[in-house]
Amino acid sequence: MLRWVGQLRWLWLVFTLPPVLLWARAFPYAGVPMVVAHCALVLLHGVLHDRSAFQSRDEPRLTLWGPRLVLDAPFLVPHATVLILLCLGMIVAAAVVDPLVAGVMTAGLLAVIIGHRFKRLFGRWRSRLAEVWLPGVALVAPMFALSSIAERNQAAAMRGRSDPGLAVALPEVITRATETATVLWAMVMAVFILACHTRDEPHDRCDGLLTTPTVFGPRGAAIAMALWAGGVMLLGANGNGHRLWTWPVLGSLGVGAMLVAWFCGAEKSGRAVVAWVTCAAVAGVCLVGRITV
C-alpha cells in the first residue's frame, strides 16, 4: 500500500483538481466523468513520467521530497493501463450526454500520451519555462475550451425553449469567479514548479536540464519566484476584494508565500515546497467550498 501511494502522483491533484471541480458545476451530467477522467489523466502523466525516468536511469522531478529513485518500471505498467482504460470509460460516459466535453477529454488523453511518446525529442529543453507552459496546458487551455462549450449549451437551451417567459432552469456557464480561480490556480502551480526546480537545481545542472534556476542562476530564480508569488497575492487579493472567494483562500496563500520567501532566503527550498503544497491544499478546500457562483 505504501509503495502504491508513494509512486502515484497524488500530490499533483492539489494544483489541478480545485478548478476542475468548479468547471464541473457547469456540466451537471458530464461533470462527474470529467472530474474522474481528470484525476486519471494527472496520475497517468505521473506514471508515464516516472516510467520514462526509470528507463533513462534518471530521477523523477516535481515531487514533494525532492528527486527520488523509482522502484521499478514493471510496477508502473499496470497502473498506466488501468488509468488509460479508466479515461476511455469516462470519455464514453461523457460522450453520451455531451460529445463536446468528451472531445476535450479525448484531447487531454492524446496530449498526455503523445507528449510522453515524443518526450525525448525535446531532450534537456523539456523543462525550460515549465512553470509557464505546464499550467497553461493543464488548466488555462481546457478552461477556455470548456467555457465556450458551456456558453454554447446555454445558448442552445435558450433557443430551444418554447416559451421565453417560462421559468426553466438553464445550463450554467463557467462564471467569472471560476475563470479567475483557474488563472489563480495556474499561478499557484507555477510557484510549486519553480520551487521544485530551485530545490532540484544541483541535480538538474548535473543532468543538463534547462530550468529557470539553471539558466538564470539563484538570483534569477529568486526574482522569478517573487514575481509569481506576488502575482498570486495580487490576484488573490483582487478576487477577495470582488467577493469571488472568501478570505481563507487569500490567507492560506499569503501564509504559504511568506513561508516560501523565508525558506528560500534561508536556502531551505525543500521546506519551501512542503510549505507551499500544504497551504495550497488548505486554500483549495476553501476555494471549492466557498467560491461565489
Q: What is the reported pTM?
A: 0.89
- 189 φ, ψ (degrees, to nearest 5): -65, -40
On whether the CB atoms of residues 98 and 168 are closer than 8 A, the answer is no
* Residue ranges in the chain assigned as alpha helix (H): 2-7, 17-23, 31-55, 73-97, 99-117, 119-122, 130-135, 141-160, 176-199, 201-207, 212-241, 247-265, 269-290
Domain count, the chain: 1
Check residue 33 and give its pLDDT: 96
Classify burial at 266, counting beta carbons within 10 Å of its beta carbon; exposed 0-12, middle 13-18, buried 19 or more: exposed
Check residue 168 and give its pLDDT: 47
On whether the CB atoms of residues 7 and 50 are closer than 8 A, the answer is yes
Q: How many Å apart are CA 110 and CA 45, to the nearest integer?
A: 11
Cell matching residue 63: 515531487
CA-atom Rg of the chain in angstroms: 20
Check residue 76 and give its pLDDT: 58
Q: How many Å apart are CA 137 and CA 141, to the nearest integer?
A: 6
Check residue 145 and give its pLDDT: 95
On whether the CB atoms of residues 115 and 126 are closer than 8 A, the answer is no
Check residue 293 and give its pLDDT: 42
On whether the CB atoms of residues 75 and 7 are closer than 8 A, the answer is yes
Could you read off the pLDDT tens digit of each residue along the chain, which spans 293 residues? 445 555 557 888 999 999 999 999 889 889 999 999 999 999 898 888 877 777 666 677 787 776 555 455 555 566 788 899 999 999 999 999 999 999 999 999 999 998 888 776 665 666 788 899 999 999 999 999 999 999 988 888 777 654 455 444 555 678 888 999 999 999 999 999 999 999 988 888 887 888 899 989 888 888 999 999 999 999 999 999 998 998 999 999 999 999 999 998 888 888 999 999 999 999 999 999 865 44
Check residue 9 and give its pLDDT: 73
- Of residues 138, 292, 134, 111, the one with CA closest to residue 228: 134
The CA distances from residue 105 to 30, 175, 178, in Å, are 11, 20, 19
Q: How many Å apart are CA 79 and CA 217, to the nearest integer?
A: 37
Q: How many Å apart are CA 186 and CA 1, to the nearest integer?
A: 31
On whether the CB atoms of residues 211 and 257 are closer than 8 A, the answer is no
Check residue 23 and give its pLDDT: 94
Cell matching residue 185: 490556480
Check residue 252 and give its pLDDT: 95
Question: Whole domain around residue 56: which residue ranges?
Answer: 2-290
